[in-house]
Amino acid sequence: MSTLADGLLAVSGRQSLRQRTLERDSAVRRFDWLLLGSALVLCAVGALLIWSATRGAAAVRGTSPTAYLRRDVVNIGVGALLGAVVALAGSRALRRVAPWVYALACLGLVVVLTPLGSTINGSHSWIVLGGGVEVQPAEIAKVALVLGMALLLGEWRATPDRPGHLEVIVVLLLAGLPLGLVLLQPDLGTSLVFIFVVIGVLVVSGAPRRWVAGLVLAGAIGCVGVAQLHLLQDYQIQRFTAFVHPGADPRGFGYNATQARITVGSGGVFGTGLFQGPQTNGRFVPEQRTDFIFTVAGEELGFAGGATIILLLGLVLWRGLRIAARAPDPFGAMVAAGVVCWFAFQTFENIGMTVGIMPITGLPLPFLSYGGSAMFANLVAVGMLESVALSSPR
Amino acid sequence: MSPRYGARLGVLRVAVVVMLGVLLGRLWYLQISGQGAYQEAAIANSVRQVVVPGERGRILDAAGRPLVANRSALVVTVDRIALQRQPDSGRAVLRRLARVLHVRYDELRRRTTLCGPGAEPPCWNGSPYQPIPVAERADAAVALAIEERAEDFPGVSVEVSSVRDYPRPAGALAAHLLGYVAPISSAELARLPRARQDLRRNDVVGRAGLEQSYQPVLAGRDGVRRVAVDAVGAVTGTVDETPPSPGDDLVTSIDARVQRVLEDALGRGIGKARARGEPATTAAGVVLDARTGHVVAMASYPAYRPEVFVGGISTVDYRAVTDPAADVPLLNRAVQGEYAPGSSFKPISVSGVVTEGTASFDGRYSCPGSVTLGDRVFRNFEGTALGTLDLHTALVKSCDTVFYGFAQHDWYADEARIRHGDQPAEAAQRMARAYGLGSDTGVDLPAESSGQIDDRASKLERWQRYLRPNACAGAKRRAVGDPLRRLDRENCVDGWRFRLGDQANFDIGQGTVLVTPLQLAAAYAALVNGGTVYSPRVGKTVMAPDGHVVRRLSCPVRGRLPVPAQVRKDIVSALYDVPRWGTAAGAFAGFPLDRIHVGGKTGTAQAGIDAKHDTSWFASFAGRPGEQPQFVTVVAIPKGGQGARAAAPAVRAVWAGIYGVGKQRAAIPRLLRRSQ
């Protein structure tokens, strides 16, 4: 192949593809292969874990044991395609579509609140499009928030270096709309992601420290206030109680937390082996293929597997931070920082609730949890990072 | 490269490293430091211990006919944990189940609630992990309805369990002998080591009769199956299993056919006594193998259907079998009933006086209609005077006044000894004890009564303990002129005295002498078997389920009679004449005594204010002519009237049944033929 291509290029009198590819500043060399590789490895591991978590129930119901595996692989494929499109479109295109994505996400979040939305697991977060396709606008909103903030803080600001008070207020208004809509669902987990992304991106953008401190304070007061004013749903309070007092009702609302911890804890160093976990096969952990996918890794792959997954996620975050640091412009840096904040918080919250150091909220683990919208959003986010990487000078 | 972001990204970098570090640290803590505890929790989560009960051994008669066997019953159980995992805590499942079982939902809900504060009975007292039985006697249609729609009944299962079955060979019920089983009590559970309690919660334990005394033999060893279950409690596989092992069978010396004969004889004896106008409502009988001490048959009337205890007795049934108005059918009167033996005690008195030399079979004694002892007149039975007679005739005709003379002699001799500062001899009492009376026979049946043989010391003790406090209080309380006031005052002061009248009553088995039918049977067996007092046994062999003999159970020897052989022979020879021309002649009229050699002694014990309350006794033995007797049969019918009229005919019916008289087929064939 390559000889033929080389020959053709040589005839045309231009540099060979091989030479161009290997050139220091080529797209192939600027592309972050390590980021893509670790993301795809995580997706593959996730597919295996989803398979393990869903085999048993399928056997009981008499459905195909690989049904979820196959759908996850399709999700990965579609997500990778979307990610590739985003990566290749370049950051200029991203800037252009950012307002539209933001508008689409907000529209989706509004539609979810209308009777067109569906409730799954106490959260009114889905739009069922029919034919088994469900869209979670909150996932699109994460992309939209990152792009929107990057656009505001990276492009349209008055002062060249740091955002001023005006920019911060505009950013807060921009983030406040989807945040409010998400809170109405109610989807506490996604709102926390939003808050973390907003604070993180503002820090990186160099926003005035008073604003950052004020926001952190407001967030804390908000959390207490929400609890005091009984704005939380009962199940949210119970989840929090279960987190503070895990033994309070091990068969009731503390069940998830207790079982998740038992499942992870029983894995030991090397785990029981894939498909061999009694806790997983006995389906003791609810929502195991989605929010609690990490328990499968904990039980069946042990500390070795669990730590590898955390390190792979760390690799993704490290590459994201590296891309942010090398971004050619503030927009790229803000996009990369936003994605890192998003992934970092979601990873910490998801694995954290699985191992009992964070209260339970419905957040998927990036790349690993089953779910189309989340998978698409994650891989699109990887595409966004790659597009920044591609636009960066070596 | 935008170096100006470097420093600010540093904040993010630190945050990311800290977050991932915290996760890794926590993961290490859970999986490596705390691994053991979580693995245990996972096992506790997903592995359930299921007790597989070992089948209880059977109880067989001497010929191997099962008196108690096992049969399979379908038991519907409910797993609480699976119910609680249901969205409505299993309410819908219980409602459906109640419809199928035709019980009320409330009842079902209560039975599946753990006992504790606020839980109404019948709540579940067992392990929360053990499936709770809610219907012990389900029929196949119910089982099918549940099994076919398993998805409608999560946590409900139908199990085959083994329950006691009573085949009644030859129609023998033997309810009292066999006893019954009941679930282990919480007190018994509490005595077990804590680790074993959960496994034993569903145990059944023998509660009466042979089921109780042979509990360790009959009880099977439970197996434990450890099964893996999923989150809804459905079993996904077996982890490991210790198989149960069945209990051993108990082969008894009971002969089912003789048992049936005895049970029929008691029932008919009561019927006849009542037809005569006697108020008899209870009866007891024992057939012993005189030579070995084994129990061949034992019955108590009224009886009950042992089936009422299968799968737990209902409150109504339990009230019925313990109802005093119905004479407490649960009582085994053959070992738990204590009655004065009346004249059936006389062979024991004679053993005493002849062995002591006070009297002799060569002597002649007068038998007046009455004797005055101290200030009381003691009448012969119905006041008959028989002139002068020898001891043989005194026994055959059951002359009381002869025995009063012996009692007088003994009593004065003892009083003289006491005056001289010696211990009283109390020879008659000593002889009675040598015959095994006044103490437990040690039979392999629970809750035996020990009877009562009164002497000076025991009377004093009883007076101090019971009579004096009551009598003295009564004397104070009662009005002057109340005739009972005098009696109470007398008892308060003098009730401890063992008077001449007491000794006189003792020698003829009246007054304070109390024996159980089994005690008397064992005493008669000793009399006719060469003087060996056995502790009777119902169990004969312990047999493993594969048929090999684990242990043979012989009757321990309690003692030897201190009665010379000639004396025993003289007494036995007198008793052989009782059915011929003595007090039982009427009852045995027409009985082939030449073919079946029957001896015995009637007894009519005064137990109350009038003759209506007399206990009717006949203690008897039988065998081939010219040989040592094979069997001893004792029948007691309280309130049955004279021994000769109620008990003796019943015993006759037993002998007729055992040996086969007239058209009746012998319950034990070839008994008589073997000698020829």
pLDDT in tens, B586-610: 999 999 999 999 999 999 998 766 6
CB of B443 within 8 A of CB of B538?
A: yes
User: Chain A, 360-389: which have a CB under 8 Å from a chain B CB?
Assistant: none
Identity of the residue in A206, A269, A321 whose CB atom sits nearest the CB atom of B31? A269
At residue A158, the pLDDT reads: 52
Q: Name the 3-class secondary structure at A133.
A: strand
Instruction: Give the list of residues 6+ apart from residue B640 with CB closer than 8 angstroms, or none.
Output: B269, B270, B273, B278, B280, B283, B614, B615, B616, B646, B647
At residue B155, the pLDDT reads: 81
Global confidence as pTM: 0.68
Higher-scoring residue by pLDDT: A24, B251: B251
What average pLDDT does range B352-377 have in this prediction? 90
Identity of the residue in A204, A283, A307 whose CB atom sits nearest the CB atom of B24? A307
pLDDT digits (tens, 9 = 90+) for B484-502: 888 888 888 888 899 998 9
At residue A243, the pLDDT reads: 59
Q: Residue B22: its chain A contacts at CB < 8 A? A: 348, 352, 357
At residue A123, the pLDDT reads: 63
The span from the CA of B167 to the CA of B162, in Å, is 15
At residue A2, the pLDDT reads: 46
Chain A interface includes B13 (CB < 8 A): yes
DSSP B171: G
Q: How confident is the model at residue B234 (pLDDT cuts 50, 70, 90)?
A: low
Cα torsion angle, A294, A300, A303, A308, sign: negative
The span from the CA of A375 to the CA of A79, in Å, is 6
Question: Is A325 in Cβ contact with B2 (below 8 Å)?
Answer: yes
Cα torsion angle, B28, B33, B36, B40, sign: negative
Q: Which of B581, B573, B590, B604 is nearest to B652 (CA)?
A: B590
Q: A174-184: buried (b, 16+ CB within 10 Å) or exposed (e) per residue? A: bbebbbebbee
Beta strands B59-60 and B249-252 are parallel
pLDDT(A166) > 70: yes
Q: Residue A268: its chain B contacts at CB < 8 A? A: 31-32, 35, 39
Structure tokens at B177: 């002998």
Identity of the residue in A278, A283, A352 whose CB atom sits nearest the CB atom of B23? A352
The span from the CA of B35 to the CA of A303, in Å, is 10
HEC per residue, B446-468? CCCCCCECCCHHHHHHHHHHHHH
At residue B567, the pLDDT reads: 96
The span from the CA of A245 to the CA of A227, in Å, is 17
Q: What is the DSSP string of B248-292?
A: PEEEES--HHHHHHHHHHHHHHHHHHHHTT-----EEEEEEETTT
What average pLDDT does range B65-88 have in this prediction? 84
The span from the CA of B256 to the CA of B667, in Å, is 9
pLDDT(B104) > 70: yes
At residue A251, the pLDDT reads: 47
Question: Is B41 in Cβ contact with A266 (below 8 Å)?
Answer: yes
This model of the complex carries an ipTM of 0.90
B165 DSSP β-pair partners: B69
CA A66 to chain CA mean position, Å: 24
Chain A interface includes B305 (CB < 8 A): no
Task: State the best of B4, B18, B32, B38 to mutate against chain A, taking most chain A CBs within 10 Å.
Answer: B38
Q: Residue B36: its chain A contacts at CB < 8 A? A: none
Question: Is B37 in Cβ contact with A265 (below 8 Å)?
Answer: yes
CA distance to partner chain B, nearest, from residue A324 (Å): 8
Lowest-pLDDT choice from A24-28, A151-155, B315-319: A24-28
Higher-scoring residue by pLDDT: B290, B186: B290
Q: Name the 3-class secondary structure at B56.
A: coil
What average pLDDT is seen over chain A?
Answer: 84
Instruction: Give the list of residues 6+ apart from residue B127 with CB closer than 8 angstroms, or none.
Output: B198, B201
Containing B604, the helix (H) or strand (E) segment is strand B597-605
Q: How confident is the model at residue B676 (pLDDT cuts 50, 70, 90)?
A: very low
At residue B2, the pLDDT reads: 45
Chain A interface includes B161 (CB < 8 A): no
Q: Residue A392: its chain B contacts at CB < 8 A? A: 1
Q: How confident is the model at residue B140 (pLDDT cuts 50, 70, 90)?
A: confident
CA A186 to chain CA mean position, Å: 18
In terms of phi and psi (left: phi > 0; alpha: psi -120 to 50; beta: otherwise), the region of A217 is alpha
Percent of chain B topping pLDDT 70: 93
Chain B interface includes A391 (CB < 8 A): no
Q: How confident is the model at residue A1 (pLDDT cuts 50, 70, 90)?
A: very low
Q: Name the 3-class secondary structure at A225.
A: helix
Question: Is A284 in Cβ contact with B31 (below 8 Å)?
Answer: no
CA distance to partner chain B, nearest, from residue A228 (Å): 28
pLDDT digits (tens, 9 = 90+) for B598-657: 999 999 998 766 667 889 999 999 999 989 999 999 999 999 988 889 999 999 999 999
Higher-scoring residue by pLDDT: B393, A61: B393
With 0-12 / 13-18 / 19 or more C-beta atoms within 10 angstroms meaning exposed / middle / buried, residue A247 is exposed
The span from the CA of B55 to the CA of B244, in Å, is 8
C-beta atoms surrounding B651 within 10 Å: 31
Q: B491-513: buried (b, 16+ CB within 10 Å) or exposed (e) per residue? A: bbeebeebebbbbbbbbbbbbbb
Identity of the residue in A200, A327, A348 whose CB atom sits nearest the CB atom of B2? A327
| Identity of the residue numbered B493 | V
At residue B267, the pLDDT reads: 95
Q: Residue B34: its chain A contacts at CB < 8 A? A: 265
Chain A interface includes B27 (CB < 8 A): yes
Q: What is the DSSP string of A233-272?
A: -HHHHHHHHHHH-TTS-TTTTTHHHHHHHHHHHTTTTT-S
DSSP B537: B
Chain B interface includes A57 (CB < 8 A): no
- Residue B101 to residues B110, B145, B161, B307, B589: CA-CA distances in angstroms? 15, 10, 18, 21, 60
Q: Residue A162: its chain B contacts at CB < 8 A? A: none
With 0-12 / 13-18 / 19 or more C-beta atoms within 10 angstroms meaning exposed / middle / buried, residue A13 is exposed
Higher-scoring residue by pLDDT: A297, B90: A297
CA distance to partner chain B, nearest, from residue A283 (Å): 5
Chain A interface includes B554 (CB < 8 A): no
Question: Is A266 in Cβ contact with B23 (below 8 Å)?
Answer: no
Question: Is B37 in Cβ contact with A307 (below 8 Å)?
Answer: no
Q: How confident is the model at residue B126 (pLDDT cuts 50, 70, 90)?
A: low
Higher-scoring residue by pLDDT: A83, B37: A83
Identity of the residue in B1, B11, B30 whose CB atom sits nearest the CB atom of A355? B30
At residue B589, the pLDDT reads: 94
At residue B106, the pLDDT reads: 83
Chain A interface includes B42 (CB < 8 A): yes
Higher-scoring residue by pLDDT: B669, B596: B596
Q: Residue A333: its chain B contacts at CB < 8 A? A: 2, 5, 9
Structure tokens at B597: 């050699």
pLDDT(B37) > 90: no
Nearest chain B residue to A281, by CA: B230
* Cα angle value B168/B173/B178 (rounded, 5°): 100
The span from the CA of B330 to the CA of A145, in Å, is 84
Find tokens 């998801």 and name the residue. Answer: A350
Beta strands B249-252 and B235-242 are unpaired
Structure tokens at A293: 């996918």
Q: What is the DSSP string of A293-319?
A: HHHHIIIIIHHHHHHHHHHHHHHHHHH
Task: State the best of B14, B16, B26 to mutate against chain A, taking most chain A CBs within 10 Å.
Answer: B16
